């Protein structure tokens, strides 16, 4: 289970750093193991290596080739964070998502508008809250993920419209909380969401997803496995609508509250999308999961049809998902 393991890991890390930080990092540095990560501490009080998260990211060299573990002490960090494409192998980690918050409040004006933008490959995010407080009225992205081989664990993404721009690349989200109203998971990545909670704050006309696959040849789409869908009202949101004509979304073994509209899916006012969108459900439960009332162009998947969507091989995860580092080396910036 991810959360208990994380709590234990950070409790031990905090104890070692608090009692004898120099001895800890020196001992870790003595092992030149490839699995050892460079430890960088962000602390608003000035007791770490940096006060701001972006400063810690900026200090990582371009074309980085070793794991860098940026440990963010609890606090509310009012800043925009960009992990650029030339800085792979970075982990941003809090100790607890509730106490480690990255926040901003800006509508979508440019690619620099999101609160956090992940453009690098081989990135990991853990135990973070990332939010955009702009509110209603326009797209306002909390998190944009456009790097390949990106994973988030036990984190929270909070906004209203387009909360999570799951833009491009292969991604994995485990035990995350995602909140919004309009198309609040959107983009054209190939992603697996496992044991996540999706919470709609829409009062009417909401949509959990807006996936943007534009052709049958594109290997993109969203799979939701063992997730939970909730909302603030009954029949207030559809499972998805096609941002791209070949939009592909599957929900499997997922609990759906009565927030899900009976029809399940929407064609975004274009009947042509019904011919090409791939929207499927498999063995879901809860009052919003009754497929008898679904639009006739969605799919009630067979076990064979669902099989490709319900394992990490959907995102080639067996090749790139990795455990947290077990050893650390001193930051020498």
Full DSSP string of 261-302: -TT-B--TT-TTHHHH-EEEEES-BSTT--GGGS-TTSEE--
Backbone φ and ψ for 145, nearest 5 degrees, come out as: -120, 110
Report yes or no on 326 lying in a domain: no
At 35, the pLDDT band (50, 70, 90 cuts) reads: low
pLDDT value for 144: 98
Report yes or no on 36 lying in a domain: no
pLDDT value for 13: 54
Phi-psi region of 236 (alpha: psi -120 to 50; beta: other; left: phi over 0): alpha
Residue of 329, 333, 331, 330 lying closest to 35 (CA atoms): 329
Supply the pTM of this predicted model: 0.91
Q: Which domain holds residue 277?
A: 70-312
Each residue's pLDDT tens digit, 112-126:
999 999 999 999 999
Buried residues in 269-287 as b, exposed as e (16+ CB within 10 A):
eeeebbebbbbbbbebebe
Mean pLDDT of the chain: 91
Report yes or no on 328 lying in a domain: no
Report yes or no on 275 lying in a domain: yes
Separation of alpha carbons 206 and 145, rounded Å: 22
Helix, coil or strand: residue 66? coil
Residue of 219, 257, 218 lying closest to 239 (CA atoms): 257
Is the model more confident about 256 or about 6? 256
- Using the 8-state DSSP alphabet, how is residue 313 labeled? G
- CB-count exposure of residue 100 (10 Å: 0-12, 13-18, 19+): buried
- 162 catalytic? Reply is yes
The bridge status of strand 90-93 relative to strand 68-72 is parallel
Report yes or no on 109 lying in a domain: yes
Separation of alpha carbons 297 and 177, rounded Å: 29
Q: How many CB atoms lie within 10 A of CB 199?
A: 21
Question: Which residues are CB-neighbours of 105 under 8 A, at least 6 positions away?
Answer: 132, 133, 134, 135, 140
- Of 49, 162, 167, 266, the catalytic one is 162
- 316 catalytic? Reply is no
Each residue's pLDDT tens digit, 57-105:
999 999 999 999 999 999 999 999 999 999 999 999 999 999 999 999 9
pLDDT value for 16: 37
Q: What does the block give as tokens for 94? A: 């809090």
Report yes or no on 46 lying in a domain: no
- Judge contact between 130 and 97, C-beta under 8 A: no
Query: What are the C-alpha distances in Å from 113 to residues 104, 156, 240, 280?
Result: 9, 19, 24, 32
pLDDT value for 22: 34
How many domains is the chain partitioned into structurally?
A: 1
Each residue's pLDDT tens digit, 229-241:
999 999 999 999 9
- Of 148, 183, 266, 267, the catalytic one is 183
The CATH code of the domain that includes 192 is: 2.160.20.10
Mean pLDDT to the nearest integer, 191-199? 98
Mean pLDDT to the nearest integer, 30-53? 84
Question: Which residues are CB-neighbours of 314 under 8 A, at least 6 positions away?
Answer: 190, 192, 223, 308
Question: Is the pLDDT score of 14 beyond 60?
Answer: no
């Amino acid at each position: 289970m991810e959360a208990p393991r994380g709590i234990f890991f950070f409790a031990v890390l905090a104890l070692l750093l608090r009692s004898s930080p120099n001895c800890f990092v020196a001992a870790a540095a003595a092992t030149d193991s490839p699995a050892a990560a460079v430890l960088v501490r962000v602390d608003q009080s000035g007791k770490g290596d940096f006060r701001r998260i972006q400063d810690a990211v900026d200090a990582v060299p371009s074309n980085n080739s070793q794991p860098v573990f940026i440990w963010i002490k609890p606090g509310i960090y009012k800043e925009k964070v960009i992990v650029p494409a030339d800085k792979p192998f970075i982990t941003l980690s809090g100790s607890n998502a509730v106490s480690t918050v990255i926040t901003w409040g800006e509508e979508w004006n440019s690619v620099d508008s999101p609160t956090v933008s992940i453009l690098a490959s081989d990135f990991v995010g853990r135990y973070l809250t990332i939010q955009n407080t702009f509110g209603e009225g326009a797209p306002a992205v909390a998190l944009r993920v456009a790097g390949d081989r990106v994973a988030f664990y036990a984190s929270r993404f909070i906004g209203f419209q387009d909360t999570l721009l799951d833009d491009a690349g292969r991604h994995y989200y485990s035990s995350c909380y995602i909140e919004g109203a309009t198309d609040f998971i959107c983009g054209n990545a190939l992603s697996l969401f496992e044991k996540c909670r999706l919470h709609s704050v829409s009062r009417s006309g909401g949509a959990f997803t807006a996936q943007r696959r534009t052709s049958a040849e594109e290997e993109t789409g969203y799979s939701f496995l063992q997730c939970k869908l909730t909302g603030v009202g009954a029949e207030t949101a559809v499972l998805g609508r096609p941002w791209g004509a070949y939009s592909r979304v599957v929900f499997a073994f997922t609990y759906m509250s009565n927030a899900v509209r009976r029809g399940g899916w929407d064609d975004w006012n274009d009947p042509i999308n019904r011919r090409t969108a791939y929207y499927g459900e498999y063995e879901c439960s809860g009052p919003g999961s009754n497929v008898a009332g679904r639009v006739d162009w969605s799919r009630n998947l067979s076990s064979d049809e669902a099989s490709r969507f319900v394992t990490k091989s959907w995102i080639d995860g067996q090749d790139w998902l990795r455990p947290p580092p077990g050893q650390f080396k001193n930051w020498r910036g």
